[in-house]
Chains A and B, each alone.
Chain A
């Protein structure tokens, strides 16, 4: 297993190097250093100030030298400062992680619980109108864009029904729930269609296996079969689906954070793209790719925990 993990880590390392290189090439194909300076200093900044900025940030060095420096600073986790405003990026990551996790973790937990619960429910009533209605609703839910969910929910639940604040964020304990109720609801609703469909398929596949028939023949109740046998045996595909997403919770929810004015890492990503802030963007992409690789690895490990028959060779 150790050899397997080392091998996967090495693959992951190469992948991350590739991502960093690709980001560098793509970014500088699109953006000129002087444009980064202009975004940082403003449109009215004189040419001399822009050139001074480019020089002091090292963007006038040969590209190869910049690429080597780019790899060095990322691989040593020396993130430096934001091009847009000079903030220490390690600070920014820490500050943004809190709001992002406040949005993503409860959404994720609620989404998984509700998804599994509803999937068990419709799978239990398979071939009835409840199951068929569930499929229709799930497909409809999957077809709607997250932006429409956000705008629609802000309008309906925030503006018309006045249940939640339309947008905003406040980490104070007495206010955080008030602000988060709507993003959580939207996050769960936006993901629930696909999740329920996936989990239902997994449960139905398990339900048709021999051990279920045997359990039923032995007089085991339907509820007990679903919860004790089917759910436990369906854990591997569920784990694949769930564990890989866990590390990415740190990188936040791009659109939700942007629309709700939540100052998390998703919002930081959108800002970095809009402001041509290469130094921030590369840190976010780097952290995101490292977490993704770790997520894959974690999923593999989780297989062995969920199913002792699986061996990592």
Chain B
């Protein structure tokens, strides 16, 4: 018996050693896209999640009213489940109304929650998706118990704050109110007055202030309709899931299987409007037939897919893979379809500015995209030496410090060159970005820097008041050794001017305290856009957003009356020549006043295997999986060719062990006899 168990175990181990595939053998020829995730998503609730990795999953499960055109750049909104893009209507008192009309005959995915409340259609496990579901999803942002990270954005809706107050009061006053179903609580609290459901498919949303950029929030999972039944049913009681672990949406995919610990398999949702009504040829349910120049050459307008109904993938599977090295090695074995490039592997993968011959031989392609973001060094404009109080001297000093920094060299040394040097706050791909614009203070020039320093009253970097080198402190919210090494690059650059530059590395909280108190001089920071509009960058320098005064995001505490006026004008202008003119003037003010030293817009390098089709990298989170396609036959063949096990070392090791031990054993027994 013991021998049988041992041989079974040995056989099983041997069998395991025959195959390094992390997937079931039966899935080899299915159009499944395999993706990795570095951590388990904290929540799949579209009102709460605010990280890129989870949004990448949510865009497959939930369907917001609008989307972005998959191929066109600059980014362009298109209707999703809305019939058309809503046109903002200006109303009295600076208010703005958005009228959203949803497609008729939309349905949520099948789920037990609809049957539980008796709202399912006859003979089905789903119900119609209505404008009231959209209103419900938006109302959740005003419910403090939901914990929406963007509640302040949705507080712009007329009556949102009053609703929040009413809801909180009613919950505190009466346990009976709290025991009501969630939709009933919202109704009893009066709802948000600025959300008016006009008929089953139409919702009017009234903002209490002019905000033309609000439209972009309709293209994010935050505004995807959710059924109230799902929130009420999935409350964690009686063995049921929590809603955050049990998505119920109306997207192209639905959850097929999850262990809530990193493994998540999505399958096609037959109730998705694109699947039920391919004849509509809805823009977000059909692969585009036109894109931007170069897309056809890149194979993104392949007739096999262009104009065809989406989605193409059968399934999408996410697996937990925390460490970069095994993740990348599995990509090399063909077990992940796409990959980023970690620092450890960069030199192996990229040679010159292109793929290494090894990678090309594998049929891997490299796609680069610039993030809609910026990294910068900011000056505290309230600082007596560097900021506004120092007047022209402070301005000259900021210019000198700006001229000393070589952002390209920084990106080359610390980011494998994956950064486009920034000339202004606006990254490429945005309206208002001028590729030909060159900021005269962003080309490193030590001679000019020294001249500006002398103009600032610090010749050779020496402060005449003390006869000592001028001391400048760079504050960073990172205390790691790697970060210290990285940031010392800036200190070295300024020391070349004779300045005594020092680093103050603190934890994030301490840094936040310093920001609130204005106790800093220069800081390193980055910003990634929520939506592709210049407003989402230029507001970072808008005076009323000052961190000291209002706790806002303007950490530089920059204030300029002209800039602030232009910001308000730009914010409410449609994209066009007039807006471009205003943006140019704003960029000019930033160039002149130098509240920031713009460093770089980081670049994403993505590697795709040859069997993965239609993927176009984007600086934003897109529902890209529904456009992607896979050639499973090619993948299977290549995987087999790349993963034949090498067995001879096992035999050699066994033979070696035997050869080493055997003489000893023989000699030992001979001697004993």
Contacts and interface: CB of A to CB of B under 8 A. Distances in A.
A263 B40 contact: yes
A171 B261 CA distance: 12
Contacts of B43: 85-86
A41 B508 contact: no
B326 A167 contact: yes
B543 to A, nearest CB: 19
With a 10 A CB-CB cut-off, give which of A52, A167, A174 has the most chain B CB atoms: A167
Contacts of A222: 672
Contacts of A56: 145
Nearest to A52: B144
Interface in A112-148: 125, 128-130, 133
Contact of A53 (B16, B51, B147, B236): B147
Contacts of B672: 222
Contact of B20 (A41, A49, A53, A165): A165
A171 B259 contact: yes
B524 interface: no
A44 B50 contact: yes
B610 to A, nearest CB: 20
A164 B17 contact: yes
B244 A42 contact: no
B499 to A, nearest CB: 31
A151 B326 CA distance: 8
Interface string A27-49: 00000101100101110111111
Contacts of B508: 35, 38
Interface stretch (B213-221, B224-232, B315-323): B315-323
Interface string A164-196: 111111111011011101000000000000000
Interface stretch (B359-367, B407-415, B658-666): B658-666
A35 B17 CA distance: 45
Contact of B329 (A44, A52, A159): A159
With a 10 A CB-CB cut-off, give which of B149, B244, B329, B665 has the most chain A CB atoms: B149
A206 interface: no
B304 interface: no
Given A32-B509, A259-B326, A133 B151 contact: no
Interface string B294-320: 000000000000000000000000011
Contacts of B322: 258-259, 261, 267
B3 interface: no
Given A85-B42, A128-B668, A159-B329, A168 B319 contact: yes
Interface string B125-161: 0000000000000000000110111011000000000
A48 B19 contact: no
A104 interface: no
Interface in B19-67: 19-22, 24, 39-40, 42-43, 50-51
Contacts of A21: none
B645 interface: yes
Given A86-B43, A170-B263, A178-B19, A162 B649 contact: no
Contacts of B323: 167, 258-259, 261
Contacts of B325: 151, 154
A86 B242 contact: yes
B90 interface: no
B362 to A, nearest CB: 14
A163 interface: yes
A163 B645 contact: yes
A7 interface: no
B592 interface: no
A40 B320 CA distance: 19
B20 A125 contact: no
Contacts of B51: 42
A177 B326 contact: no
A156 B13 CA distance: 17
Nearest to B326: A167
B329 A154 contact: yes
A260 B21 CA distance: 14
A56 to B, nearest CB: 8
B331 to A, nearest CB: 10
Nearest to B145: A56
A87 B261 CA distance: 11
A160 interface: yes
Given A85-B244, A175-B24, A181-B17, A162 B509 contact: no
A48 B150 CA distance: 11
B335 to A, nearest CB: 8
Given A42-B51, A168-B319, A47 B551 contact: yes
B347 to A, nearest CB: 17
B185 interface: no
Contacts of A155: 329
A165 B668 contact: no
Given A84-B42, A125-B665, A163-B17, A41 B144 contact: no
B325 to A, nearest CB: 7
Interface in B446-478: none
Nearest to A258: B322
B22 A161 contact: no
Contacts of A34: 509, 512
B330 interface: yes
Nearest to A95: B261
Contact of A41 (B50, B321, B333, B660): B50
Interface string B333-364: 10100000000000000000000000000000
B645 A162 contact: yes
Contacts of A88: 236
Interface in A35-82: 35, 38, 40-42, 44-49, 52-53, 56
A158 interface: yes
B262 interface: yes
A160 B644 CA distance: 10
B646 A130 contact: no
B20 A40 contact: no
B165 interface: no
Given A84-B42, A166-B326, A177-B13, A46 B644 contact: no
B12 interface: yes
B260 interface: yes
A112 to B, nearest CB: 15
Given A41-B147, A47-B551, A158-B20, A167 B330 contact: yes
Nearest to B144: A52
Contact of B149 (A44, A159, A171, A175): A44
Interface string B487-507: 000000000000000000001
B151 A177 contact: no
B113 to A, nearest CB: 19
Contacts of B321: 167-168, 261
A256 to B, nearest CB: 11
Interface in B505-528: 507-509, 512
With a 10 A CB-CB cut-off, give which of A45, A160, A163, A172 has the most chain B CB atoms: A163
Given A52-B144, A128-B664, A166-B20, A261 B50 contact: no
A44 to B, nearest CB: 6
A215 to B, nearest CB: 16
A129 B13 CA distance: 31
B509 A261 contact: no
A85 to B, nearest CB: 4
B330 A181 contact: no
Given A175-B24, A261-B322, A46 B152 contact: yes
Contacts of B650: 163
Given A154-B329, A168-B321, A178-B16, 9 more contacts: A35-B509, A44-B50, A95-B259, A95-B260, A133-B660, A159-B332, A163-B20, A177-B13, A261-B321
19 contacts: A44-B50, A46-B151, A129-B664, A130-B664, A154-B325, A154-B326, A161-B647, A162-B645, A164-B16, A164-B20, A166-B326, A166-B329, A166-B330, A167-B22, A167-B330, A179-B22, A181-B13, A263-B262, A271-B40
Closest 9 CB pairs of A and B: A263-B261, A85-B42, A167-B326, A45-B149, A165-B22, A181-B16, A130-B664, A163-B17, A261-B320
